[in-house]
Structure 1
Amino acid sequence: MREIRTEPLTRAAFAPFGDVIEAAGAPEKIINQGLCGRYHDLARLDFGPGGRAGISVFDAAPRTLPYQLDMVERHPEGSQAFVPMSLASFLVIVAPDAGGRPGTPRAFVTTPGQGINLLRGTWHGVLTPLSAPGLFAVIDRIGDGANLEEHWLDAPWRITG
């Protein structure tokens, strides 16, 4: 079986696929009478024509490493952000587009407090928390049209830590 080792989630490594949402470094603004740091405009949200932003809550069962990846999906009509509602790590699997099909995947493990925003059309694995609870606020496109494309891989990948 083909194998991929996870890597830490960093803004630079993840940039081709989307955005890392986190409170890192100094806040861009200090608000609320000097008692709150604002980390401003962290995700390139994109909901396409005829769409609008929606917030949903996903409750996903935790998974473990090694993890078998046999399917990826993408959303051609809009971006999709995952913001954990607990301070737990999760697995993020993405793949570049290779002529309308997913290329070689990459696997990232978040640190507690990190969320992600997947750019429109980015191939990605399913929501994969590594511990319970698997509660996430998900900001994505609400609207008409087909916004989900699944691709079952010819051979699975084994994701290891």
Structure 2
Amino acid sequence: MTKIVTQKLTAAAFAPFGDVIDCAGAPDKIINQGMCGRYHDRADMEFDEGRAGVSLFQATPRALPYTLDLMERHPQGSQCFIPMSEHGFLICVAPDDGGVPGTPLAFLSQPGQAVNIHKGVWHGVLTPLHPPGLFAVVDRIGPGANLQEHPLATPYTVDTA
């Protein structure tokens, strides 16, 4: 198995695959009688025919080292993963290589970070590393097939070093 070493999730490193959603920088606006900072429009949500929907996902936590053996993509819409706990999670993504995943990269998010994976980007399954594994997910709701799965002939081992 080929090993992938995780890297810290940053907006610059993740940009080819999607958006990092966090409270970096100053808020765009102060609201609620000065008691709340609004960090406005942090993700480029993109959908073909359909609409945005909000779902809850309850995923079983995994552990590192993690075996990455399946990647998927959503050709008709982006997919935004928002953890509903103060834990980071593992995000595996890969460039497209002629209709199949290329060499994957792995990112570890920090508490307070979410990601929006752009339309058509190969990514691993939802991979929390701590319970409860509860996420709000904003993605496309609409007609047609919006899931392509690709089992990896040669799995990867993902770890921190």
Normalised by the length of structure 2, the TM-score is: 0.98
Name the counterpart of 1:139.
138
2:11 matches 1:47: no
- Mapping for residues 89-128 of structure 1, pairs under 5 Å: 89-128=88-127
Per-residue CA distance 1:124-143 (angstroms, 9 max, x = gap): 00000000010000000000
Partner of 1:34: 34
Q: Which runs of 4+ in 1 moved over 3 A?
A: none
For residues 56 and 47 of structure 1, the distance between their equivalents in structure 2, rounded to whole angstroms, comes to: 16
Q: CA deviation at 1:32?
A: 1.5
SS of the equivalent of 2:72 reads strand
Is residue 76 of structure 1 aligned with residue 79 of structure 2? no
Q: Aligned to 1:120, what secondary structure does the other structure show?
A: coil
Shift of 1:33: 1.6
Q: Give 2:128's aligned amino acid.
A: P
Cα RMSD after superposing both structures: 0.6
CA drift of 1:3 comes to: 0.5
Shift of 1:96: 0.4
| 1:92 CA drift (Å) | 0.2
Greater alpha carbon shift after TM alignment, 10-19 vs 30-39: 30-39
Segments of structure 2 that go 5 or more residues without pairing to the other structure are none
Distance 2:39 2:101 in 1: 32
Separation in 2 of the partners of 1:47 and 1:142?
Answer: 9
3-state SS, counterpart of residue 113 of structure 1: coil
Give the corresponding residue for 2:66.
Answer: 67
Number of residue pairs the alignment of both structures matches: 160
Corresponding position of 2:153: 154
Q: What SS does the aligned partner of 2:145 have?
A: coil
Question: 2: distance between equivalents of 1:137 and 1:24?
Answer: 20
Shift of residue 65 of structure 1?
Answer: 0.3
Distance 1:52 1:21 in 2: 20
Q: Distance in 2 between matches of 1:154 and 1:129?
A: 24
Residue 35 of structure 1 and its aligned partner are, at CA, apart by 1.3
Provide TM-score, normalisation by structure 1: 0.98
Amino acid at match of 1:142: I
Other-structure match for 2:18:
18
- The Cα shift of 1:99 comes to 1.1
Deviation at 1:97, TM superposition (A): 0.6
Give secondary structure in 1 for the equivalent of 2:115: strand
